[in-house]
Amino acid sequence: MKIKFKITPFIIALFLFANNLDLQATNKTSDPEKDKVLIYILRNILTRSHFVVKEMNDDFSEHVYKEFINGLDPSKRYFTQKDLKEFSKYKYQIDNQLLKEDISFYNLVYERFKTKIKNAKLYYGDLLAQPFNFNKNEDINVDYEKTPFAKNENELIDYWRKQLKLSTLIRIQEKLEKQENAQEKDKKTPIKNFKTLEKEARIEVLKNMDDLYIRIEELEHDDWFSTFLNAVVSAFDPHTTYMAPSTKERFDQDMSGKLEGIGARLQKKGIYTHIFELVSGGPAWKQGDLEPGDIILEVAQGDEEAIDIVGMRLDDAIKFIKGKKGTEVKLTVKKKLDGSTKVISIIRDVVELEETFVKSSIVEKNGKKYGIIDLPKFYIDFDEKNYRDSATDMEQEIERLKKENVDGLLIDLRNNGGGSLKTAIEISGLFIDKGPVVQVKYRDEEPIIKQDVDPKTQWTGAVVVLVNEFSASASEIFAAAMQDYNRAVIIGGNKTYGKGTVQSVLPINRFTKYEKDLGAIKMTIQKFYRINGGSTQIEGVYSDIAIPSRFSYMTYGEKDLEGALIWDKVKQANYVKTNTYENFADVIYNSKQRIASDKKFKLINEYAKWLKEKQDNTSYSLNYKNFAKQNKAQEKDAEKFKTVFDYTSNLTFSSPEYELPDIKKDTVLADKRVAWHKNLSKDIAVYEALNVLSELKIKNTAALVKN
C-alpha cells in the first residue's frame, strides 16, 4: 500500500549526511561506490523511520546471511556445506560490516555464486546427455527448505541428477498419457517406445535449462545486489523491499494502470524478443501491422540509426521500445505468418492497461437487476493528479449502474492485493455518510483516525462484498469498514490475507546527489486498524459467510510469512453502525444453511482437503514403475473431483449500456467481456453472493450513519 511519506527531521539530516558521503563518490561510477551509497542510505532510513524499532545485531546479521544465501540458491543447486563453512565466518559480522558500508560478505558469496553458475551448465549438460536409470529405487523430496545443502561437489551433482531425473520423468508421463489418449481416438496413431519418449523428454528438459541459463546470464551485478539488499531490508518485515530502477518503474505502472509506449507485451524466447500480446486500444493495436508472435530484430528512434536487439536482455530491449508520448519508434520485425521482414513505424502514446481498472456487469435474477463491480486493485497515479483512479472510477461506475436501475451491488475483491490507502477510504465513503473509515499508526505515535469527510452517499442500496484468501491490504480496509458499519455482507474465503501494514515508496536519489538512478525502497511506516480497534494484521477480515474454495486449507497469508508483524489493537473509534437492513442476520443464516447442505460446496471442501494433502506430500519416487503407480493412484483420487468446478447458473451477464459502443468497435474488448461473463455464469461463489444480495431488504435508505 503506497502513501505519501511523512517528512521528519531525520530525513533532512539524512539528506545532508548522504551528500557528504557523495562528495567522495559522485565522480566515481564503479559499482562498489554505488553499492556503498545504497547501503548507507537504506541503513539509516530503516533504523530511524521503519515502523518497527530493529537493532542491527547478531540476530539481524543471521537473518541477512540466511536470506541472501537462500535467495541465490533456493533449490540447493549451487552451494555446498564447504561453501557455507567459508561463508559462516561472516554470519554474525554482517551487521558490523553494514555499519561501515562494507560488503565483504556479499562479494564473497556473489563471486562464488558466479563460479557455481558456470559449473551448473556443465552439470546439467552432462547429466542430460545419457538416459537415466528409471529402475533404481530412489526418492526425491522437493521441499527444498528442509533439504540440507550438499556435503560436497559429488553430492551436489547427485542433487542435480535427481532434480533433472524428476523433470524428465514428469515429461515422460505426460507423453505417455498424450499417446494413450491419441490411441483411443485413432487406433492407427503410431506408438513410440519408452526409450524414444525418454530421449525426447531429456531434450526438452535440456532446452528448458538452456533457456533458463540464458536468462540467468543476462542478469547483472545490480540484479544480484538487489537480492542482497532485499535480504537486508526484509529483516525489518516481509513487505519492506528494495526496488531497483526497473522494478520501481514496473511498480508505478502497476499502481497507475498506465504506461507510455507502444502497448505490447513482450516475451524473451532464446535470443529473440517476441510480441506476446497487444494491449487493446494501444498504439500498436491501432496501427495494425504488429501481431502476436512477431519477432523484433531492430529498434530505431525516429530517423536515427536502428539498434540490433537480438541477444539483448529483455529489460534493455524494452528501454529502447518504450518512450514518451508522441515520439516515433521504428521496429524491424520478422513476421510470424510468412517470415518476411518489415519495418513498422509506431507513434508512442499513453497506454491504459484495461485489466487494471474497474469494470461492471449486469445480471437479472428473480425479476430484479443487480450490478457486479470487479475491482482488481486500488489504483492511483500519484504523479498525475488528474489521471483516473479507482475511487473516481468506482463513483462513476456506480452512477452508471444506478441509471440502469439495479437493485443491489456485488463488489468483487477476490485476488485484489490492495494499492492506495487514499482510494480505499474514498471508496468506503461512497457507501456511508461521513465518518471514520480506518485508523493508521506511525511508530511510537497515537493512532490517527482517517475520516470520510464527504457527506454524500453514492449508493444507499444493498451491498455484498466478495473476498477470498488473496484479498489484501486496501481490500481489507474496505471490507472491514463495510463489516464494522454493518453496511455490507462479506462473503467468500474464511478470511482475507491479513496484511495490516502500510508502505511508502521513497526514491533513494532524494537523499543523494549520486548521478545514477538508485531505485527506491518500499518501507513499512504504519499499521492500520479497523474502526472497531482491531488490526487486520495476521487476522485479516473474517467473512460473515464462509464459502469453501480450493484455498480453504492451504498454507497462505500473512501469518505464514517469516518476520510478519504481530496482531494488536488500539482504542475503538467513535462510530455508529448503519441501520441499513431489516434482515441482515437472517440472510447470513440462510446462506450458511444453503452452503452447508449443498453437494457442490461439500465437494469443493473435500477437494480443498485433498489439495492440502498434496501440498504436504513433497516426496516422489524416481523409479518409473513406482512413479507411475503414484500417478495412477493420484489420478484415481482426482477422478472424484473431476466435476468439482463444473457449474453453470441459469443467469445471463451483460455489459452495461455505456460500454456497448466500445465493444462493437473493439473486438479484443468484446472477447474479454464474453469470457468474463461466461466465467461469472459458471462461478458458484458469485451465484451464492447474488442469492444473498437478492434477499437483503433495505430498512431505511435515510438511516445511514451520521457521525
pLDDT one-digit tens code per residue, 81-93? 999 999 999 999 9
pLDDT one-digit tens code per residue, 296-351? 998 999 988 888 888 777 878 888 888 888 999 999 998 887 777 889 999 998 87
Q: Examine the pLDDT at 4 and tell me if it is beyond 60.
A: no
What's the CATH superfamily of 258-352?
PDZ domain (2.30.42.10)
499 included as an active-site residue: yes
407, 412, 433, 484: the active-site residue: 484
DSSP helix/strand/coil, 422? helix
699 included as an active-site residue: no
pLDDT one-digit tens code per residue, 181-222? 888 888 888 889 999 999 999 999 999 898 888 888 888 888
Q: pLDDT-based confidence at 29, cuts 50/70/90?
A: very low
473, 543, 549, 552: the active-site residue: 473
552 included as an active-site residue: no
**Residue indicated by cell numbers 458499519:** 485
DSSP helix/strand/coil, 292? coil
Q: Examine the pLDDT at 16 and tell me if it is beyond 70.
A: no
The C-alpha angle with vertex 446 and arms to 442 and 451, in degrees rounded to 5, equals: 85
Return the H-helix or E-strand segment holding 36.
helix 31-49
Return the pLDDT at 703: 43
Average pLDDT for residues 44-52, to the nearest whole number?
91
Q: pTM higher than 0.75, yes or no?
A: yes
CA distance 316 to 320: 7
Positions of CATH 3.90.226.10 in the chain: 356-598+684-695
CA distances 104 to 36, 53, 315, 498, Å, are 11, 26, 28, 37
Percent of the chain, pLDDT > 70? 93
Average pLDDT for residues 33-38, to the nearest whole number?
89
Q: pLDDT-based confidence at 17, cuts 50/70/90?
A: very low
Q: Examine the pLDDT at 225 and tell me if it is beyond 80.
A: yes
Q: Examine the pLDDT at 12 and tell me if it is beyond 80.
A: no
Q: For residue 42, give the nearest of 510, 615, 683, 595 by alpha carbon.
A: 510
pLDDT one-digit tens code per residue, 553-586? 887 789 888 899 999 999 999 999 998 999 999 9
Q: pLDDT-based confidence at 18, cuts 50/70/90?
A: very low
How many CB atoms sit inside 10 A of residue 582's CB? 12
Average pLDDT for residues 618-642, to the nearest whole number?
89
Q: Examine the pLDDT at 524 and tell me if it is beyond 50.
A: yes
Return the pLDDT at 255: 62
Query: How many helical (H) and strand (E) elements, i.e. helices and strands, does the chain have?
Result: 21, 23
Q: pLDDT-based confidence at 121, cuts 50/70/90?
A: confident
Q: Examine the pLDDT at 3 and tell me if it is beyond 60.
A: no
Average pLDDT for residues 467-494, to the nearest whole number?
96
- Of 42-46, 129-133, 349-353, 566-570, the range with the lowest mean pLDDT is 349-353
CA distance 664 to 506: 43
Return the pLDDT at 153: 94
Q: Examine the pLDDT at 11 and tell me if it is beyond 70.
A: no
Q: Examine the pLDDT at 669 and tell me if it is beyond 70.
A: yes
Return the pLDDT at 234: 94
Q: For residue 663, give the nearest of 674, 653, 652 by alpha carbon.
A: 674
Q: pLDDT-based confidence at 1, cuts 50/70/90?
A: very low
359, 499, 522, 527: the active-site residue: 499
Return the pLDDT at 645: 87
Q: What residues have CB less than 8 Å from 384, skipping those under 6 apart?
A: 256
For domain 356-598+684-695, give the CATH number: 3.90.226.10
Positions of CATH 2.30.42.10 in the chain: 258-352
Average pLDDT, the chain: 88
Return the pLDDT at 5: 37
- 54 and 61 Cβ atoms separated by less than 8 Å: no
